[in-house]
Amino acid sequence: MTNPLTATTLDNWGFRTEHPLVIAGPCSAEGEEQMLSTVREIVANTNGKVQMIRAGVWKPRTRPNSFEGVGEIGLPWVKNAGREVGLPVCIEIASPEHVYAALKNEIDVLWIGARTTVSPFAVQEIAESLKGVDIPVMIKNPVNPDLELWIGALERIHAVGIIKLTAVHRGFSSYQKTMYRNPPMWELPIELRRRHPDIPIIVDPSHIGGTRDLIYTLAQQGLDMGFEGLMIETHINPDKAWSDAKQQVTPERLGEILTTLIVRQPKNSIDALADLNELRSRVDRIDDYIIELMCERMGISEEIGSFKNEHQLTLHQSERWAQIVKRALAKGTTGGLTEEFILKLFQQIHNESIRHQEKVIAK
């Protein structure tokens, strides 16, 4: 048994983390001047909204012979750029060596990238190297849509005593071609939130979208779902970036995005929460009622099953089914439900009902 996964809230990280926690900076650190000018422009254009600077110095690339990051030499560039504007900095680490180099260079926050989270061995080695170190760690979801692997990585880091933890949602790879580079599959971070409500979640619209046009919409969706922050790749000259050129935005565009986003208060901190809770408990009561009614309905189905069995009647009687659907459609559409929803719902109810009838026959 691993310890229950817990995390401190972002305000215990030791620097300003107002809602939403916005992290911005280039995909890769390319030079001292690129870091400085990007960070200065970010600060000049975003009115205090950006609270942390990001950059990668070791870049996990799909194919060899692409730019794999400048390496350790870039760490002081990142740190000094942050110092220049008074902001903490974060970088990606993928091995204990990276961790030691980052700590030596006083990097404030570390993140584990999507290609590393997939490997329990790699995550475990990183965890060991962090024993006794007090530093926030952000864990990107694994490339593949596997929630257990994501939680497993959070648990491994948590197990060595790191409680300044967040998850970063950067979308999941898909074999199918989609409009996204990594489709968001929001149900996964939502399920993570349900299972581990105190792990903050930061959305990375840059790696989800893969193109700069999608960033605003994805960022808004992330905030609308109540997630705690955004990580947005920002470059002084995005088209000339050495990695992820298509998805990076200029500091000016970042400023526009951040001004346009509608930020609602995070969970627990709004006066309206009491009203919201009242509405939620009404929904819960109705959901309970729906489930109780379904259980009762399936009980009757079993009685019908026994009856049909005794009297040698066929299980599925299509006229009866047509009649049920017709009644439901008439009533439901009048009440504002869509035809599609009613049909799907009743198909499921019907399937479950047949299973219950078969169950009594099999006895």
From the list 69, 88, 113, 305, which residue makes contact with ligand PEP (rule: CB under 6 A)? 113
Look at the block and give the residue holding tokens 């026994």.
Answer: 306
Q: How far apart (Å, rounded) are the C-alpha atoms in residues 301 and 357? A: 6
Nearest residue to Mn ion, by Cβ distance, number only: 27
Between 49 and 140, whose beta carbon lies closer to ligand PEP?
140
From the list 117, 142, 244, 353, which residue makes contact with Mn ion (rule: CB under 5 A)? 244
Give the ranges where 86-146 is alpha helix by DSSP (H): 96-104, 114-117, 120-129
Between 8 and 237, whose beta carbon lies closer to Mn ion?
237
Look at the block and give the residue holding tokens 């000049």.
Answer: 44
Q: Positive or negative, the Cα torsion across 128, 132, 133, 134?
A: positive
From the list 7, 10, 22, 27, which residue makes contact with Mn ion (rule: CB under 5 A)? 27
From the list 49, 164, 207, 235, which residue makes contact with ligand PEP (rule: CB under 6 A)? 207
Nearest approach, Cβ of residue 143 and ligand PEP (Å): 7
Give the binding range for ligand PEP (CB under 6 A) out of 107-115, 216-224, 256-264, 273-281: 107-115
Give the binding range for ligand PEP (CB under 6 A) out of 108-116, 188-196, 211-219, 288-296: 108-116
Q: How far apart (Å, rounded) are the C-alpha atoms in residues 99 and 96? A: 5
Give the binding range for ligand PEP (CB under 6 A) out of 109-117, 119-127, 151-159, 222-230: 109-117
Between 170 and 196, whose beta carbon lies closer to ligand PEP?
170
Between 248 and 357, whose beta carbon lies closer to Mn ion?
248
Q: What DSSP state is assigned to residue 266?
A: P
Q: How far apart (Å, rounded) are the C-alpha atoms in residues 240 and 333? A: 54
Work out what residue 170 binds among ligand PEP, Mn ion, none; the CB cut-off runs from 5 to 8 Å by kind: ligand PEP
Work out what residue 140 binds among Mn ion, ligand PEP, none; the CB cut-off runs from 5 to 8 Å by kind: ligand PEP
| Number of neighbouring beta carbons within 10 Å of residue 326 | 10
Yes or no: say if 165 and 154 are a contact pair by the CB < 8 Å rule: yes
Q: Is 56 left (phi over 0), alpha (psi -120 to 50) or beta?
A: beta
Give the ranges where 112-166 is alpha helix by DSSP (H): 114-117, 120-129, 147-159
Residue 133: which residues within 8 A CB-CB, separation 6 or more? 99, 103, 162
Nearest approach, Cβ of residue 208 and Mn ion (Å): 11
Work out what residue 114 binds among ligand PEP, Mn ion, none; the CB cut-off runs from 5 to 8 Å by kind: ligand PEP
Site string for ligand PEP, 135-164 (x = CB under 6 A): -----x------------------------
Give the binding range for Mn ion (CB under 5 A) out of 66-74, 239-247, 261-269, 338-346: 239-247
170: contact with ligand PEP by CB under 6 A: yes
Q: Is 14 left (phi over 0), alpha (psi -120 to 50) or beta?
A: left
Work out what residue 189 binds among ligand PEP, Mn ion, none; the CB cut-off runs from 5 to 8 Å by kind: none
Contacts 24+ apart (CB under 8 A), 211-216: 211/181, 211/246, 211/247, 212/238, 212/246, 212/247, 212/248, 212/249, 212/253, 214/179, 214/180, 215/247, 215/249, 215/257, 216/257, 216/260, 216/261
User: What element of type H or E holds 140?
Assistant: strand 137-140
Nearest approach, Cβ of residue 27 and ligand PEP (Å): 5
Binding site for ligand PEP (CB under 6 A): 27, 56, 60, 92, 113-115, 140, 170, 207
Binding site for Mn ion (CB under 5 A): 27, 244
